[in-house]
Structure 1
């Protein structure tokens, strides 16, 4: 990986750790501020930029680690940790290795580097199948709210 990619992942991790710290302090949806994030998580590299923090919050939103209202150019100005986001942040690892299936699937940590490529591909297919199954289940549940029969019971 190159330095820019490493920094991008580090910023994402910092935003997630900052959110967990703020939630622990009682702030449900704190205001996204690079300077406050830097101070809270002890960011040592060159200062965080607003664009980096906005990109990180958008990534966390897309992956389901935070919820909120996306604003163009700002990211998620008042992000809130989801259950998946809290779980990953509390684990203390990097988002880069946090999970293979995404926060809506099973979180798979500490994978052995000796795993063969075919096993990795099989695991990835299993994750996709699980996500499709969850999507079908959620769609069936949504249709019951519109007067349909709940087929998920």
Structure 2
């Protein structure tokens, strides 16, 4: 698979995640721009172009992950008012890529794939392939735990903001912390709690803190897989 094809699928993953976040922040139906997608999903590869984003909206519609009105801009098709479908939300919640595969692939909305990590032993530096060592596995678990705990902290802050669901937010934070140290063992329950967190933050979607919290929960869901 060429780099350009891989990037096209990564852009689709990014746009779908943006649509997911947009649904909770604005109710969906907003035009997808390269700037908005980049900011929402923390795209880290070379800059997105309007053409890539427009093409991704059409590809996602063809796969049943987005719906909306098809329009034209400079001879390029795009969705004018993209909205994520139930199937699209399910895919994002599962942390799976749009890319077809016999085995589900993890979504890569950042556009950057880490293939190697650098660590040290008594004889100096050595390279370890991802998923080939306990060291790498531990890093992955720590990252999941860290993101889950960040969501718990955000829930506590949300609870102190006087929102009508403050008590529920604080209880969800307690539950997340109780399960965060073993993300793989508790994956199903943690996923349920993170989805609940996104819904809780939706009450504050009109604020900067609310938007950041939704992104935190969405990121944790992606990493959890």
Displacement after TM superposition at 1:26 (Å): 3.6
For the Cα contact (< 8 Å) 1:12–1:95, is it kept in 2?
yes
In 2, the alpha carbon distance for the partners of 1:75 and 1:27 equals: 19
Of the candidates 70, 78, 82, which is equivalent to residue 85 of structure 2?
82
Any idea what the Cα deviations from partners look like across 1:40-82, whole Å, max 9, x if unmatched? 1000111111110111000011111111011122400210111
Displacement of 1:109 after TM fit? 4.2
Match of 1:51 in 2: 51
TM-score, L = length of structure 1: 0.61
Structure 1: gaps of 5 or more residues: 101-107, 111-153
Cα distance in 1 for partners of 2:104, 2:7 equals: 21
- 8 Å Cα contact 2:11/2:52 also seen in 1: yes
**Cα deviation 1:77-131 (Å, max 9, x = unaligned):** 210111111111111121114x77xxxxxxx847xxxxxxxxxxxxxxxxxxxxx
Task: After superposing the two structures, state which structure 1 stretch, 71-80 or 11-20, moved more.
Answer: 71-80
Q: What is the alpha-carbon root mean square deviation over aligned residues? A: 1.8
Determine the structure 1 residue equivalent to 2:7: 7
- Residue matched to 2:37: 37
Q: Distance in 2 between matches of 1:11 and 1:32?
A: 12
Q: 1:62 & 1:93 partners in 2: Cα distance?
A: 17
The structure, 1 or 2, with the larger RCO (C-alpha pairs under 8 Å, 6+ apart) is 2
Specify the alignment match of 2:97 in structure 1.
94
Q: Distance in 2 between matches of 1:21 and 1:36?
A: 11
Structure showing the higher strand proportion among its residues = 2
| Structure-1 separation of matches of 2:94 and 2:24 | 14
| Mapping of residues 56-67 of structure 1, within 5 Å | 56-67=56-67
